[in-house]
Amino acid sequence: MNRDRRDGIWKQVRGKLRQQWGRLAGDSSAAAAGARDLLAGKHQEQRGVSKQKADRQLQDFMSRNRNWGDLSGR
């Protein structure tokens, strides 16, 4: 397991915690940010890309698909 994959797993854990905290606190923006971190971490783990590249690819995807709605409801 290389460092990028390990960092991706850690980012998933942080994202899940952030998402749960946002739901408990009633903060939808924190829950959405946690969902985004979780998704970026999964991408980083599966592809083995750097954090910056994973974030950039996710941002490009989100900007192309703006009509997908809020990720915090999932």
Q: Which residue type is seen at 50?
A: S
**What pLDDT shows up at residue 57?**
86
Is residue 37 included in any domain, yes or no?
A: yes
The pLDDT of residue 71 is above 70:
no
Q: Is residue 70 part of a domain?
A: no
- Cβ proximity of 70 and 34 under 8 Å: no
Tens-digit pLDDT profile for residues 25-53: 999 999 988 988 888 888 888 888 888 88
**What residue numbers bound the domain in which 36 lies?**
3-62
* Residue 55 within a domain: yes
Predicted pLDDT of residue 21? 92
Instruction: Please tell me the predicted confidence (pLDDT) of residue 69.
Output: 59
pLDDT cut 90: percent of the chain above it: 18
Supply the pLDDT for residue 26. 92
